[in-house]
Structure 1
Amino acid sequence: MPRPSQPLISRSSVVAASIEIIDTEGLDAFSLPRLAKHLGVRAPSLYHHFADKSEILAAVARHIAGAGSIPRRKPGPDWPEFFVALALNLRRSILRHRNAAPILLQYLPRDLLISTYEETARFLADSGVPPHLHVQILDGMERITLGAALTEAMRGPSTRSTIFPNVDADSQPVLTVALAANRMTSKQLFEEMVRSFLHGVVRDAEVAVPA
């Protein structure tokens, strides 16, 4: 398809409009004609910046994943809390756009995530964490954070008692009691899961972590 001679929109405006449509109307409602209408342009204008719909969705995924900021924290013995904050930032960004979770599953910007690993690996080194544990920590944090956040986004908001939905008191009495006894929100459970992982990695490596 030929491109118009002058761009009528910017790359960032296309991404922002795409996210707005997906957030408010759902992923199924997203299409290039719908996007062009939202922007007040003809569909060919989109081709100034993107080759096709897939490239736009990849940019949306990149924008959402990149919105999680790196915490400002000095290296030291409380280094696990740096990673807790980092994971919470990414989780918050993903849950802000729940309808886009399937996009992240398909177009996860791995290069964007890896670009931050030099900085986080240096933080580990400056905190006294041995190099042979760095990959285990960084890879594990990526898997735990993305897996938990995307799963939570796709299943929708929950309360303390509905973290496991559709539990029947008659057929699942033990689980029903467990849910009633739970005092943590989904966010708090996520934080403790991250901490448990980090402390577990270093538990047998004689690496100092706060009690």
Structure 2
Amino acid sequence: MGRPSTPLLSVDLIARATLRIIDTEGSDAVTMGRVATALGVHTSSLYNHVRNRAALVEEVRTLVTETIDSSAFHTFPWHEAVVRWARSYRAAFARHPRSVPLLMSVPVRAPRVLSMYEDFTVALRRDGWPDEEIVVVLTAVESFILGSVLDMTGPPAMFDPAAHAAEFPAFTEVIATLESSATGVPTTDRAFELGLDALIRGLRAQRRALPQTARRTDRITRDGTRRKDARDHGEHRSR
């Protein structure tokens, strides 16, 4: 029996084809029909593997985020873990920056991504952040990371005031100074590290300003459920 003329479909094959379209044509190009054409199959064949476009987006999200390392949340103080996670997060999306608009359009349901959010949540709870602030902190950090990723997609010289130097002399001078003092490190990378440091400093200051809360530790009981143990804790360990 000969091989089929087209490769056997799978969720992974469909997701990778979709990601290639995103990388080369942008998020707006992603339709079920376009993906089917790229794979050389009928559109209806895709629905044997993915329910709809939203489900396909979640499979792409899993691919893009598969290299993000959230293990630091298990061993480091929350602020050090966030720094390590943020760098890993940015590096993963830097490989596929054009995926950001598409992934931002669909609620996160992918277990791979929810797993790292669980790590984030447990770490911040452990160090005393109140539950009502944790998603706010997460959103602030992610917004900063993804903004930096989008910044990386722009031209190397984003600012060009030369034609209006007389009107905007101060800004023109600092751009010239930046260009003449190039360190070899891209401005986007320097800006990311500067912004991340400022963000973490601000979050730590906010954490210290919050009322003292009980440190919570997840414990697994014999029946597999989680029990919250608490003991007095501020942020003294991670200041």
1:171 and 1:111, CA in 2 relative to 1: closer, same or farther beyond 3 A?
Answer: farther
Q: Partners of 1:193 and 1:93 in 2: how far apart?
A: 18
Larger relative strand fraction? 2
CA deviation vs aligned residue, 1:62-116 (integer Å, no higher than 9, x gap): 4324542214476456x52321121111112222112222102212516755543
Distance 1:171 1:59, change over 3 A: farther
Match of 2:225 in 1: none
Q: Could you give the per-residue CA deviations for residues 151-183 of structure 1, whole angstroms, max 9, x where no partner exists?
A: 642772454xx3x53434333332333344556
**RMSD of the alignment, in Å?**
3.4
- Tell me the residue number matched to 2:42: 42
Which residue of structure 2 lines up, in the alignment, with residue 167 of structure 1?
161
CA distance in 2, matches of 1:18, 1:33: 11
Assess, with a 3 A threshold, how the Cα gap between structure 1 residues 11 and 150 changes in structure 2: closer, same or farther.
farther
Instruction: Structure 2 unaligned segments of length 5 or more: list them.
Output: 1-6, 210-234
Give the letter aligned to residue 130 of structure 1: G
Q: How does 1:25-64 map to 2 (within 5 A)?
A: 25-64=25-64
What is the Cα deviation at residue 9 of structure 1?
0.9
Q: Greater relative contact order (Cα 8 A, min sep 6): structure 1 or 2?
A: 1
Partners of 1:172 and 1:50 in 2: CA distance: 53
Alignment of 1:1-211 (within 5 A): 8-72=8-72, 75=75, 79-109=78-108, 113-124=113-124, 129-132=127-130, 136=133, 139-150=136-147, 152-153=149-150, 156-159=153-156, 162=157, 164-168=158-162, 169-182=165-178, 185-203=187-205, 205=208, 207-208=235-236
Sequence identity, in percent?
23
Distance 1:193 1:61, change over 3 A: same
Structure number with larger C-alpha Rg: 2
Query: What is the count of residue pairs matched by the alignment?
Result: 198
Q: Supply the distance in 1 between the matched residues of 2:92 and 2:86 (Cα, whole angstroms).
A: 10
